[in-house]
Amino acid sequence: MNIALLVADTDTLVDGNYLRFANALHARGTTVCICLMDSLALGDSRVTATGFTLDGIVGTGDPFPARSRVNLDEFNIVWVLSLGFRHNFLDKVQLLYSLPKNVRIVNSLDAIMHLKSKYFMASHPDTFKCPACWASTDPATLFAVMKERGGRWIAKPPAGSFGRDVYLLTAEDPNANVILEAMTGPDRDHYCLLQPWVAEIADGEKRVLLAGGKPVGQYRRMATKDHRTNVMQGARTEPCELTPDEAAYAGKIGSFLRGFGAEYVGMDLAYPWVIEFNVINPGGLLTIEQLTGVDLTPRILAGVLPEFS
């Protein structure tokens, strides 16, 4: 087995999941190439990227070794662990779609295209419970929904991350219209997603890691400075367990997501509400080890890559 990990370009190697995966795979005799997502290109009708092949264990803070261009169709598996620059995301996905069918992509491109978006979540009410959603490029339409229904609302980008541009609003907030206008852009060319505030989030969210359709670990995130439970926005983390109902629920959802080719997913759960799926590079592996002393890398790789078992 040989595998290419597509990661973000950084000055040095960072412990962003991919180093753990790369070192564990290399130790098992797998040929591992760490490539840059934003280096994807087409050369003589073949999809290429710049990267380097591991010839030993690499560590956090190590400089990137010399990179060369490789043909991605020579790998059994390509694992996408970064979106790279957002403005050319569609080009990169289309390049990856042109790889031969015998190259397995983790997570699948369908999963990356659709599960990353909040729109998908609203379309499967029989599988999981998601807050009702409105989305529009018209701030007046969104404000009218808030005013008619009352209560507190979350406004956020449909495909945002790290808790950026996530606002808790009411129609009585004097800044509500201004925020909705900013979210939809000066030319009303950006979509803004609107959802009712879920009271269960006040008790925190559980980030549940799913590998191969099964929950393998979790931790709780509690908001501290505002309404956001994102670690990047200062949320507090603590170890936790899943209740039997939560575990069964997570297993059901994991099997459903696996049907879309989503093998490694971070699910944000405020039971019974599913708040978000992260199918690119779910955070939590390092956090769980810091909280519990357990490194879930082997369990994740065994779930995602049966060849690793």
CB atoms within 10 A of CB 99: 18
Q: Work out the percent of the chain whose per-residue pLDDT is above 90.
A: 77
Domain chopping of the chain, boundaries: 2-106, 120-125+200-304, 134-197
Q: Cα-flanking dihedrals φ and ψ of residue 250, to 5°?
A: -65, -40
CATH number assigned to the domain with residue range 2-106, chosen from the 4 options 3.30.70.2750, 3.90.1170.50, 3.30.750.24, 3.40.50.20: 3.40.50.20
User: What's the pTM?
Assistant: 0.91
CATH top-level class of 120-125+200-304: alpha beta
> What HEC string does 227-238 produce?
CCCCHHHCCEEE
Query: 193: closest CA among 137, 130, 231?
Result: 137
The architecture (CATH level 2) of 134-197 comes to 2-Layer Sandwich (3.30)
Q: Cα-flanking dihedrals φ and ψ of residue 26, to 5°?
A: -60, -40
Q: Pairing mode, if any, of strands 264-270 and 192-196?
A: unpaired
Query: 111: closest CA among 277, 231, 288, 290?
Result: 277
List, for residues 3-13, the tens digit of each pLDDT value: 999 999 999 99
List, for residues 228-277, the tens digit of each pLDDT value: 555 555 678 999 999 999 999 999 999 999 999 999 999 999 999 999 89
